[in-house]
Amino acid sequence: MVTSIILKKLKSAFTDLFPIILVIAFFQIVVLKQPLPQMGEVLFGALLVVAGLTLFVQGLEMGLFPIGEAMAHALARKGSLFWLLCFSFALGFSTTVAEPALIAVAWEAAEIAGQGGLIDSSRESLSQYAFGLRMSVAFSVGLAILIGVMRIIRGWPIHYLIISGYVVVMLMTIIAPKEIIGIAYDAGGVTTSTITVPLVAALGVGLASSIRGRSPLVDGFGLIAFASLLPMIFVMGYGLIIFG
Amino acid sequence: MEFIIDFSKILLATGRDVLPIIILITVFQLLVLRQPIPHLRRLIVGGVYVVIGLALFLAGLEKALFPLGNIMASQLSDSDFIYGTGKVVTQADWKAYGWVYLFAAMIGFATTIAEPSLIAVAYKANEVSAGTIKQWGLRITVALGVAFGISLGTFRIVTGTPLYLYILAGYMIVIVQTLFAPKNIIALAYDSGGVTTSTVTVPLVAALGLGLSATVPGRNPALDGFGLIAFASLFPIITVMGYAQLMHWQTQRSIKIMEKKNAL
């Protein structure tokens, strides 16, 4: 019984990975006409990926989803808007501020700004710039989750908020310094890590299902969308302020 | 031995990712909510599974996929491979990069299918919609969006056209689609833009972008290397809304046909 469940999960994880194997094999053999290097290493790695994905999905069902929903229900039952918003902001801020992908992007951005002569290229001013960038992204993600949760509670239609956000992004693109635009656009994508996404999704769906009149599908999703939109605006704003 | 050290490093890093969440939840439970968490033991086991699973996943990717993907990205964008050996090229010819666009599309599709955050969101969407949104349907639609987006993004790097034009045009499409798309898909569609780009896609795609902008004549990695991730988060929104729109039309048409039959 247990083994058949495990086998099923392993099989679905293998299916998830199969396209990658196919693409790599095709390009390596047909296009580049080269044998696969280090077959042993690659196979071992692929096994780890399959095992890891299986455990991850199992853990989602057992841990991350239930805790996200339990927190949402408990906070909704408590009925204090202040604490709910505190939790939302803290969740967004704390999971983003130490995100390795963000640290890497912020540092790269600082180096580009230094090379472009936009800021002083001493190490100290670079790290100051990178730190400021990181903080503004983390703050914006916190704010994004907070706004998203407000939206779920009040039942505002998501498209008005997101489209106004897009309009702001477009307007800022016109006036923002060229060097920051690419990074600003990418910053939206790197903020939401693999552990944050399921938790935030469960929080939104949990909230929407515990507030009367809200539909989990229409109102429960959308938190991640805010978390990828707001950082773009904040990073461009940061660029505008720093570069004048 | 070396592998065990690598793995413990990744495990530690993943653990550090979870740390703020654990602190936050504990503080809120103890100070604000002041009530025990139901099924605590099960939750902890699940959390441990997530951390170990993700660490194994990342370790495996670093062993198998990333080195291979990086080598392939640099080989495919190498001007010896594209223009033939020994030719000196000063101006990039966008027609010569066919394999690069195809590789970008296929690797974008394949990595998105394996993306754990997308698996999580598809799982939730399926549960919440009582099965009307199929997990694989959503994942394939999103992956097609990423494939198209990244492919277009590499085309942009090769031609050197400005990034913001593409993104602004994409936003226009999203805005128009939003006006017509079925209301219950909109939030999920917006979300699917943000979940596509995490653990698997970002490192590979970033390597492709930087490698390509370093080898295409006339491109500067600092200015042109970025932006692929933005493409990968924009186009899934378009494909998901487009797919929902198609399904909506199809059901409406079959309803109309049914009504006609009944009228007869």
Q: What is the pLDDT of residues A53-89, one digit of tens each?
A: 889 989 988 988 988 888 888 888 888 889 999 999 9
B9 and chain A in contact, CB less than 8 A: no
Do B134 and B58 belong together in one domain? no
Residue-wise pLDDT tens for chain B (264 aa)? 677 888 888 888 888 878 888 888 888 888 888 877 778 888 889 989 999 998 998 888 888 777 777 777 777 777 777 776 666 666 667 777 888 899 889 988 988 998 888 999 999 999 988 888 899 999 999 999 999 999 999 999 888 888 888 988 998 999 999 999 988 899 999 998 888 767 777 777 877 887 787 777 777 766 676 778 888 889 999 999 999 998 888 888 888 888 888 877
**Tell me: the pLDDT tens digits for A159-169?**
899 999 989 99
> Are B114 and A20 within 8 A, CB to CB?
yes
What confidence score (pLDDT) does residue A2 get? 67
Q: Do A59 and B53 touch (CB under 8 A)?
A: yes
Give one DSSP letter per residue of B51-75, joined into a string: HHHHHHHHHHIIIIIHHHHHHHHHH
Portion of chain A with pLDDT greater than 90, in percent: 21
Query: Residue B156: which domain range?
Result: 78-263
> Residue B146 has what pLDDT?
93
B48 with B144, same domain: the answer is: no
Q: Give the chain A residue nearest B197 (alpha carbons).
A: A189
Mutate to test the interface with B, among A87, A107, A195 (most CBs of B within 10 A): A195
Residue type, B235: F
Q: Distance between CA atoms of B252 and B250, rounded to whole angstroms?
A: 5
Where in chain A are the domains?
Answer: 1-65, 79-243
Of A7-11, A227-231, B32-36, B203-207, least confident by mean pLDDT is B203-207
3-state secondary structure A37-80: CCHHHHHHHHHHHHHHHHHHHHHHHHHHHHHHHHHHHHHHHHCC
At A125, the pLDDT band (50, 70, 90 cuts) reads confident
pLDDT for A184 equals 84
Q: Are residues B6 and B46 in the same domain?
A: yes
Instruction: Report the domain count for chain B.
Output: 2
Residue with tokens 């400005």: B162
**A64 Cα to chain B: minimum distance (Å):** 6
pLDDT of residue B52: 92
* Low-confidence winner among A35-39, A107-111, B97-101, B190-194 (lowest mean pLDDT): A35-39
Instruction: For residue B119, give both structure tokens.
Output: 């698996």
Q: pLDDT: is A142 or B13 the higher one?
A: A142
Higher pLDDT, B74 or A225: A225
pLDDT cut 70: percent of chain A above it: 98
* Residue B127, CA distances (Å) to A64, A203, A216, B166 in order: 15, 14, 10, 35
In chain A, what residues touch B241 (CB-CB under 8 Å)?
A: none
Q: Note whether B53 and B116 are same-domain residues.
A: no
Q: Are residues B50 and B89 in the same domain?
A: no
Decide which of B25, B42, B73 is a domain's last residue.
Answer: B73
Which value, in Å, is the radius of gyration of the alpha carbons in chain A? Answer: 22
Q: Which of B53, B73, B93 is the last residue of a domain?
A: B73
Whether A186 sits inside 8 A of B230 (CB atoms) is yes
- Tell me how far apart the alpha carbons of residues A222 and B92 are, in angstroms, rounded to a whole number: 40
ipTM entry: 0.86
Q: Are A92 and A146 in contact (CB under 8 A)?
A: yes
Q: Are residues B83 and B63 in the same domain?
A: no
Average of per-residue pLDDT values in chain A? 85
Residue B82 sits in the same domain as residue B141: yes
pLDDT band at A8 (very low <50, low <70, confident <90, very high): confident
pLDDT reported for residue B88: 62
Residues B67 and B196 in one domain: no
The confidence band for A244, taking pLDDT boundaries of 50, 70 and 90, is low
Q: Are residues B123 and B187 in the same domain?
A: yes
The dihedral sign for the CA sequence B225, A225, A9, A69: positive
pLDDT at B211: 77
| Alpha carbon A117 to its chain's center | 30
Q: Are residues B245 and B157 in the same domain?
A: yes
Quote the pLDDT of residue B89: 63
**Domain boundary residue among B23, B44, B73?**
B73
Same domain for B125 and B67: no
Instruction: Sort B158 into a burial class: Cβ within 10 Å, 0-12 / 13-18 / 19+.
Output: buried
The owner of tokens 């968490």 is B37
Residues B211 and B259 both lie in one domain: yes
